[in-house]
Structure 1
Amino acid sequence: MRNFVAGGLSAAAALLAGASAQAAQPAEWEMNFQPAATDIMHQITWFEHYTLWFIVPITLLVLFLLAYCIIKFRASVNPVASRTSHNTLIEVIWTVGPVLVLLFMAVPSFQLLTAQYSPPEEAKLTVKATANQWNWDYEYQTEDLLSFNSAVLTDADRAGLGKEDTGVYPRLLAVDNEMVVPVNTMVRVLVTASDVIHAFAMPAFGLKTDAVPGRTNETWFKVEKEGIYYGQCSELCGKDHAYMPIAIRVVSQAQYDTWFAAAKADLPGANKALMAEIGSSNKVAVAGK
C-alpha cells in the first residue's frame, strides 16, 4: 500500500513538473481561457467572468419571455389577437435596463482597454517580430543584435532538436527556435510583416496584435511564471496559415543571460543547453517534491 501511495505521489509530482514545463497550450474540450500568465490576462479573465453575470441572466430572461409569449398568446388560446400598440412602463424598462447594463459593462471594459495600451513600466527588452508566409523572424534589439527564424517543428526534426516529447512540444504548435525571454521582465514586441497581414497572438498573455506590411505595431507583456507558451498567427494569411505557430520560452534571468550569450555564436547549441538545464531543474523539483 505504501509503495502504491508513494508511486502515486511521484507520478503526481512528475505531472506537475511536466505541466510547469509545458505551461499553457490549447486543451481538448477547453471551455475557459488558458491559465493566465500575465496581469493583463488576469484582468481579461476577470472581465469575462464579470460579463457572464449579465449575459446569463439576460439570456435566461429572454428565453423565458419567448416561451411565455409562445404559450400564453398562441392562436388556440387567443383566437382574437390583441390590438395593444404600446406600453409606457415596458418601454421605459427596456430602454433604461439595457443602458444600465451597458454602463456597468463599459466602465471596466474601458479600464481594461486602457491597461492594455499603458505599460506600467519601461521595457527592459525589445524584440522585433516579423511575420512571413509562414514563419517568424525575431530580432533582439540589444547592443549585440541577435536574430533568428522560428518555424513550425517537423516530425523529422524532433529527434535532432531533442523535442520528441509531444506533451511539452505539441504537434503544429512547437517550433524549431522559441523566442526566449526572462520571467518578470517587461518585454516590448515590435510586430510587423514582410508580405501579407498576419497577427501575433499569445492567449496566455492576453496578447493579439496585427502584423501589417510597412507598419510596425507595438505590444508588450510581463510573464509571471516560467515555461513554454504557445500561440498562433491569428489572421488568415494563406494556405499554410494553420502551420505558423508562436512559441515563447520564459526562463529565469540567469538562464536567459547564459542563453543569450551563447546564442549569438551558436543558437542550436544554446537552445539545447537551455533545455538540458531546464530538464535537470524539473528532475530536482520532482525528487525534492
Structure 2
Amino acid sequence: MPSWLGLNFQDSCSFSSGELFFLHDHVMVIMFMVVILITYIMFYLLVNLKFYKFLSEGTLIETIWSMVPAFLLVILVFPSMSTLYIMEDYKFPSLTFKVVAHQWYWSYVVPLFKSLNFSLKGLGDFSFYEYDSMMEEFSDSEGFPRLLGCSSDFFMPVGVSSRLLITSTDVIHSFSLPSMSLKVDALPGRINQLFVNPSRVGLFFGQCSEICGSNHSFMPISVVVCSLSDFDSLGKSYLMDLMEDSLGGVDCSL
C-alpha cells in the first residue's frame, strides 16, 4: 500500500519487482556519487583564484573524463539488461489471464487451473470464466482504502508464472500495479502483455494510470494473490454456480 508522504517503493510482491527495486537503488547510488563529485569540482573552480591549465585541457584529463563515464555505463548496463530479461523472458507461462479495460471498470478472463476443460449440459465447454470489477462505494466500516476497493477482486496464484494480456474496448487506459512493478497501456484494437510471478500471498492495489475520462480516478485494481488450492476452488465454485443457474437452482456443490 502507498503511504502519505512515502519516499520509497511499495513492498515487493514478485521476484522481478525486487530486481527492479535493486536496480533503482544501484543507479541512484552511482548518480549520487557523480552529483557529489561534479558539485565539488564546480564549487572548487568557483572559489579558487588560481588557474591550472592542465585541469581544463590536456590529453590525460580528457582521457580520464572520457573513460570514467564509459566505465560507469558498463557498471549500469549489466544489471539493467539482467533485470529486463527477468521481467520479459518468460518462455512458457503456466497461466494466461486476459484484462479488458472499459469506461470505467475492468473485465477479467481467468483460466481454469491447469487449463482444465469442463462441459456443462446445454452450456458447452469451459476452460475459463469471466467477470467485471467495478469500484465499490466507500464506507468507513469496510476497511478498504478510499477509491481502491473493488466489487470483485482479481485472483492470481502465488509462485506461478502468469501472463497478462491487456486490451481496451473504448479509449486508452493503463493497467498499473506498483507492488508488482506492472504497468502497460490498454489500447483499443491492440493486445499488450505483461509477465508476473507473485512471491507472496496478500491483497494488492493499483489504478488506471492513464487519463481516460471524467471518471478516471474511479477505476481501481484489486489483486488477491492466493494459494493454488484456493485458486482452483474459485474456478470450481464459479462452475458450480453456473451449473446451478442452468438447472434452475438445483444444488450442484461437490
* TM bin (shorter chain): 0.7 to 0.9
C-alpha distance in 2 between matches for 1:50 and 1:195: 40
Instruction: Give the AA of the match of 2:88.
Output: Y
- Letter of the 2:98 partner, please give it: K
Q: 1:241 offset after TM fit, Å?
A: 2.2
- The farther-off stretch of 257-266 and 239-248 is 257-266
- Distance in 1, matches of 2:20 and 2:48, equals 41
Which deviates more from structure 2 when the two are superposed, residues 56-65 or residues 134-143?
Answer: 134-143
Partner amino acid, structure 2, of 1:235: E
CA distance in 2, matches of 1:202, 1:218: 14
Partner of 1:112: 83
Question: 1:34-70 deviations in whole A, cap 9, x for unaligned?
Answer: 1111110111121112112311111111221222222
Q: Does 1:147 align with 2:125?
A: no
Deviation at 1:137, TM superposition (A): 0.8
1:133 aligns with 2:103: yes
Which range is displaced more, 89-98 or 244-253? 89-98
1:251 and 2:226 aligned: yes
Q: 1:153 corresponds to which letter in structure 2?
A: E
Q: Give the alignment partner of residue 28 of structure 2, picking from 40, 52, 67.
A: 52
Unmatched runs of 5 consecutive residues or more in structure 2? 118-125, 243-254
Contact 1:153 1:171 in 2 (8 A): no
Q: Does 1:175 align with 2:146?
A: no
RMSD: 2.6
CA distance in 2, matches of 1:239, 1:92: 56
- Asked whether 1:28 is paired with 2:10, we answer no
After superposition, the Cα gap between the structure-2 partners of 1:231 and 1:138, relative to the gap in structure 1 and judged at 3 Å, is same
Q: What is the letter of the counterpart of residue 166 of structure 2?
A: V
The equivalent of 2:92 in structure 1 is: 122
Pairing partner for 2:63 from 65, 81, 92: 92
**Partner SS, residue 46 of structure 1:** helix
Aligned length: 229
TM-score of the aligned structures, taking structure 1 as reference length: 0.72
Higher helix share: 1
Cα distance in 1, alignment partners of residues 72 and 215 from structure 2: 42
Offset from partner CA, 1:156-211 (integer Å, 9 cap, x none): xx59xxx711xxx2111221111012221222111111112222121111211221
Q: 2:236 aligns with which of 239, 249, 261?
A: 261
Amino acid corresponding to residue 93 of structure 1 in structure 2: I
Change (3 A) 1:100 1:260: same
1:216 offset after TM fit, Å?
Answer: 0.8
CA distance in 2, matches of 1:90, 1:235: 47
Query: Which runs of 5 or more residues in structure 1 are unaligned?
Result: 1-24, 268-289
1:110 to partner: Cα distance: 1.2
